[in-house]
Chain A
C-alpha cells in the first residue's frame, strides 16, 4: 500500500527549478532510497514533502490525502519526521531539551518510554543528557537528530544524508539502526544518501535523481548491480 506518492512534483527556488517533475512512491513498511550527486535535488525533495518550500506543480499524496499546501508543522502532525541535512540540532539547548522538542506533538504519556528507547539505541546520549548539544561530536549530533525525530513516533521517517562526514564505525551503527527501525518497528523510511553503497544495500527500492529528475529506479540490489549506477555513484566513491 502506498503511503507517500509524488506525482510530477516541481519545486522552484526563485528562478531555479530544483525539481522538474519528480515521480516517487513510498509504500508502507519500505525503505526507499534516493541517490544522486550534489545538487540533484535530493534535499529539496525531502523538504518539499514537509511543506517548505511548497511545490509549484504536481501533487504530494500522503495516506490518500493531498498535502501540497500544508506547512511543516502540519505535515509533522501527520506523522512525517525529518532528520535534515546538516542535522540541525539546537546547539544552545541540552541534549534532553532537544529530545523534548522532538516530542512536541507526541502524547506526553509516551515520553518516558520513548526517551528510554532512544537512549538505549544510542547509549552515549545518556552520558551527554545535560550537555549543550552544540558541544557534541558530529556522530553524536547525528544520533541526537535521529533520536529527536523518533521521539515524535513518526510513521514516515525522512533521513537526509545521515552518514555525511562521519567515521565508518559510526556510519555502520547508524545504518544498523535504520535497518532495525524498519524491521522491528515497521517504520517506513525514505533515505537520501550520497553513500550509495550502504543505502542501496539497505533499501527495498531506490531512485536515482539527476538534475531534478528521476533518471532510474528499481530494487536496491538491482541498482547496486547496475553498471551505470556503479560507474556514476560507486566506483571510486566512498564506501
Chain B
C-alpha cells in the first residue's frame, strides 16, 4: 500500500506543479516577447502582473456588490476587465519609460524598468494599502481522482480552470504569432527592425502591441493567482516576476515555446521541492536553477545562440 501512497503523493505534487507552472508560463511569455523585440528585460513586468491581480480583487468585489454571483459570468467579466486595465498599464509603461530611450545605451531602459517597477509597487501600496488583500473563494470544490487508504488524489476546479485556460491561451497565442499578419510583423521586427520599417511596418506600434499582449497574459495570471491563493499584496509582483523571468531564461529568452516550457519546469520544480524537501526553501530551488542555466547553458533549453549565417 505504501507504493500507492507514494504514487498518489507524486501525482498530487505533479498537479500542483502544473498549476503553478501555468501561471509562471503566462507571465514568462511577456518577458520573452519583449526581450525578443527590443532586447530588453522588462523588470516592471512582475508589477504588471500584480496590477492585474489587484484589478481582479476589485472587480470581484464590485461584482459581488452588484449582485452578479453567477461564477462563469463573473469570471468572464473579471478576466476582460483585468486584461483591459492591465494592458493599458503595459502600454503606458512602454510609452513613457522605454520608447523615449530607444537608441540609448542598453543600460538606460533597464534602469528605467527597475524605476517603473518601484513606482508601480509604491503606487499600488499607496492607493490600495500595504496590508494583504483577501478574496473570498470564487470557485470551490474539486474532483477526487483517486481515493486510496490514507490519501486522496484530487484536482480542484480552480486548478482545472487554470490549466485549461492556460492551455487555451497558449494555443491561441501561438497561432496569433505564427499565422497572423500581426504575429508576422512582430517576428519581422524581432529579426530586423530597420527592414521591417522599410516594408511599411509601423515598428513603434508593433512594439506597443507586444507590451499589450504580454500585459494581457500577465493580467490573466494575476486573476488566476488571486483566485488560487485568495490573498494578494502589492509585493507579489517581485517574486513572481523573478521566477517567471527565470522560467524565460531557462526556456531560452526570446523563445515563445521556451517560455511555456520554462514556466512549467519552474512550477514543477517548486512543487516537488516543496513536497519532498522543504517548502521554506522552494525559492532557493528556483533560483539555483537560474544560476545553473546561466552557467551551463546560457541560451536556455530552446534558445538559439545569437549567431546567424549572413
Contacts and interface: CB of A to CB of B under 8 A. Distances in A.
Interface string B191-202: 110111111111
Chain B interface mostly: helix
B191 to A, nearest CB: 5
B203 interface: yes
Contacts of B194: 52, 72, 84, 88
Contacts of B256: none
Interface in A85-135: 86, 88, 90-93, 97, 100-102, 104-105, 134
Residue among A52, A100, A104 with the highest chain B CB neighbour number at 10 A: A104
Nearest to B310: A86
A73 B188 CA distance: 13
B184 interface: yes
Contacts of B185: 101, 104
B187 A90 contact: yes
B197 A101 contact: no
A50 interface: yes
A84 B197 CA distance: 12
B308 interface: yes
Given A92-B187, A134-B308, A73 B203 contact: yes
A109 B49 CA distance: 41
B197 A73 contact: yes
A58 to B, nearest CB: 21
Contacts of A100: 181, 184
A148 interface: yes
Nearest to A151: B199
Given A91-B308, A134-B308, A52 B188 contact: no
A29 interface: no
Contacts of A81: 198-199
B184 A91 contact: no
Interface residues of A, number: 25
B191 A77 contact: no
Contacts of A72: 194, 197-198
Given A91-B308, A97-B184, A134-B309, A104 B191 contact: no
Determine the interface band of chain B, counting residues with CB < 8 A from chain A: 20 to 34
Interface in B166-204: 181, 184-185, 187-188, 191-192, 194-203
A158 B200 CA distance: 15
B184 A101 contact: yes
Nearest to A92: B191
A88 B195 contact: yes
A84 B195 contact: yes
Interface in B289-310: 308-310
A84 B202 CA distance: 18
Interface in A142-166: 148, 152
Contacts of A50: 198
Given A88-B192, A88-B195, A76 B187 contact: no
Contacts of A84: 194-195, 198
Contacts of B200: 73, 76-77, 104-105, 152
Interface of B: 181, 184-185, 187-188, 191-192, 194-203, 308-310
The 7 closest A-B pairs by CB, nearest first: A72-B197, A76-B200, A105-B200, A88-B195, A104-B200, A90-B191, A73-B202
27 contacts: A50-B198, A52-B198, A72-B194, A73-B197, A73-B199, A73-B203, A76-B198, A76-B199, A76-B200, A77-B200, A81-B198, A84-B194, A84-B198, A88-B192, A88-B195, A90-B195, A91-B191, A91-B309, A93-B187, A93-B188, A93-B191, A97-B184, A97-B187, A101-B188, A101-B196, A148-B199, A152-B199
Given A90-B195, A134-B308, 19 more contacts: A50-B198, A52-B197, A71-B197, A72-B197, A73-B197, A73-B201, A76-B197, A76-B198, A77-B200, A84-B194, A90-B192, A91-B308, A93-B184, A101-B185, A101-B196, A104-B185, A104-B199, A105-B199, A148-B199
